Amino acid sequence: MHILQMVGFGLVATVIATVLRPHAPQFAIMVTMVAGTILLLMVMSYMSKVISPLQDLANTAQLNQGFISTVLKIIGIAYIVEFAAQLARDAQEGALATKIELAGKVGIVILALPIVMSVMNAILHLLP
């Protein structure tokens, strides 16, 4: 996990974006976007190392495979929505950022609904 490399890369990209902003603001946003994307790509390669042991644990515990994949999807949606929303805020597009977050929230609620339903059914069965 080259944490120093990633942090250094982020710092360099920040400096380049600030230097570029007065001359060409639209290119500064492009530098921020590509730097953010590359950093996320670096993190994503380590993320799969985190997720595979979790899935093995879930399999050994005979958990329902659907729950685990839903949780993973929700985490993925949260990642990408936060990335896009923060980028929109950087470009002074606050309204757009909130719309992106709204889309992410709706997506997460839709994904979480079946789990909530199954919990409700389980509870109802317990009651006399």
Interface residues with other proteins (CB under 8 A) are 5, 9, 12-13, 16, 19-20, 23-24, 26-28, 30-31, 33-35, 37-38, 40-42, 44-45, 47-48, 51, 69, 72-73, 75-77, 79-80
Least CB distance to other proteins at residue 3 (A): 14
CA distance linking residue 45 with residue 51, whole number of Å: 11
Q: Which is nearer to other proteins, 19 or 63 (CB)?
A: 19
CA distance linking residue 62 with residue 41, whole number of Å: 31
Nearest residue to 74 via CA among 120, 123, 116: 116
Least CB distance to other proteins at residue 123 (A): 28
Q: Residue 91: in which H helix or E strand, if any?
A: none
Tokens of 21: 């902003």
Least CB distance to other proteins at residue 47 (A): 5
Q: Which is nearer to other proteins, 68 or 101 (CB)?
A: 68
Q: Residue 23: in which H helix or E strand, if any?
A: none
